């Protein structure tokens, strides 16, 4: 079972409906949770999906439209009521702090933990977070206001020790860390045992990119080349392309074209306009260009 998962909390667009919640996702990697966008209802969805609030330490906001950030004040307040003491870092364009700080001053002045802000330049592709499990990069997007997506790149795990072989060669425990990192082993009589005889490779590191909201932007293709899973907004069908251009959003066909050009392994589309009661036309439109496309939906858990 994969330890890199995407939980879909909401995949609708700005106008609320009974079918979809506003944008929010949780990236789960090696027992840590990273939230991307926080529309209304995000914390309730975390409850429904049994995601532990205490494992969430980083929130990445793409831009300051309400359907991507109106859930933040409630979530921050709830974390305080749950007795959180560790800091919470919110990453995003500078406007995110401008929006949140007055609310925190008014309603959350006595939080038992610290809310930190990391300003991200939405016009620049850059490393914005690195920990022992992954690296997160910003992806400049094309929207009506400054907006960026995020690329989550898992770090390669260490090789697996073949216990029978390390026992056979009597490898000391003190050498195991070096061998996991790729070192050969030299026996007391000077024989060099190749690392490949003592280990087997770990599963390849996985990559996931979140691109919402954006107009058709082929310039992002090199930044997401050959990733494992791409989430790309598909707000409109091609027949509504005039509206997509007016609002700086993408059609399902355009999302699929980005996936095709980037040669990603799989495409998930979301941020659906409230005008569509039936999403099959969007899926069909995308699959004509990129067959390995599927629809996002609330409650889904995708293994990368």
pLDDT in tens, 192-219: 999 999 999 989 999 999 999 999 999 9
Q: What is the pLDDT confidence band of residue 265, given thresholds at 50, 70 and 90?
A: very high
Q: What is the mean pLDDT of the chain?
A: 96
pLDDT in tens, 249-258: 999 999 999 9
Tell me the whole-structure pTM to 2 decimals.
Answer: 0.92
Whether the CA torsion 47, 53, 57, 63 is positive or negative: it is: positive
Rounded Cα distance, 214 and 233, in Å: 7
pLDDT in tens, 83-120: 999 999 999 999 999 999 999 999 888 899 999 999 99
Counting residues of the chain whose pLDDT is more than 70, the rounded percentage is 99
Most confidently predicted of 21-25, 106-110, 167-171: 21-25
- Mean pLDDT for the stretch of residues 221-232: 98
| Secondary structure in 3-state letters for 257-289 | HHHHHHCCCEEEEECECCCCCCCHHHHHHHHHH
pLDDT > 80? residue 1: no
The one catalytic residue in 3, 67, 131, 240 is 67
Q: Looking at residue 69, what is its pLDDT?
A: 97
CB contact at 8 A, 279 and 272: yes
Q: Looking at residue 181, what is its pLDDT?
A: 87
Q: How many CB atoms lie within 10 A of CB 18?
A: 6
Q: Is the N-terminal amide bond of 213 cis, ω within 30° of 0?
A: yes
Crossing angle of helices 280-289 and 252-262, rounded to 10°: 30
Q: Looking at residue 109, what is its pLDDT?
A: 85
Q: Looking at residue 207, what is its pLDDT?
A: 98
CA 126 to chain centre: 15
Rounded Cα distance, 287 and 281, in Å: 10
Domains and CATH numbers, the chain: 4-157+203-303 (3.60.15.10), 160-200 (no CATH)
Rounded Cα distance, 180 and 84, in Å: 36
Q: Is 67 a catalytic residue?
A: yes
Rounded Cα distance, 86 and 100, in Å: 19
pLDDT in tens, 25-83: 999 999 999 999 999 999 999 999 999 999 999 999 999 999 999 999 999 999 999 99
């Amino acid at each position: 079972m994969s330890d890199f998962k995407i939980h879909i909390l909401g995949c609708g667009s700005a106008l609320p409906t009974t079918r979809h919640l506003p944008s929010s996702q949780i990236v789960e990697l090696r027992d840590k949770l990273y939230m991307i966008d926080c529309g209304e209802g995000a914390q309730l969805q975390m409850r429904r999906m049994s995601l532990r609030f205490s494992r969430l330490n980083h929130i990445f906001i793409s831009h300051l439209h309400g359907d991507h950030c109106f859930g933040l004040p409630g979530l921050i307040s709830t974390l305080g009521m749950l007795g959180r003491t560790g800091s919470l870092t919110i990453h995003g364009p500078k406007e995110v702090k401008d929006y949140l700080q007055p609310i925190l001053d008014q309603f959350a002045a006595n939080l038992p933990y610290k809310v930190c802000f990391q300003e991200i330049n939405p016009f620049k592709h850059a490393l914005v977070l690195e920990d022992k499990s992954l690296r997160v990069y910003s992806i400049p997007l094309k929207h009506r206001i400054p907006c960026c997506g995020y690329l989550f790149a898992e770090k390669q795990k260490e090789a697996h020790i073949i216990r029978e072989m390390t026992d056979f060669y009597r490898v000391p425990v003190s050498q195991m860390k070096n061998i996991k990192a790729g070192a050969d082993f030299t026996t007391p009589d000077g024989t060099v045992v190749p690392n490949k005889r003592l280990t087997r490779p770990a599963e390849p590191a996985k990559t996931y990119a979140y691109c919402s909201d954006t107009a058709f932007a082929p310039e992002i293709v090199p930044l997401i080349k050959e990733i494992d899973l791409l989430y790309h907004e598909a707000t409109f069908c091609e027949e509504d392309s005039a509206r997509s251009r007016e609002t700086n959003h993408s059609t399902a066909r355009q999302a699929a074209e980005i996936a095709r050009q980037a040669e990603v392994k799989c495409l998930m589309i979301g941020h659906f306009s409230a005008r569509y009661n039936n999403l099959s036309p969007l899926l069909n439109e995308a699959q004509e260009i990129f067959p390995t496309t599927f629809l996002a939906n609330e409650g889904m858990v995708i293994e990368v």
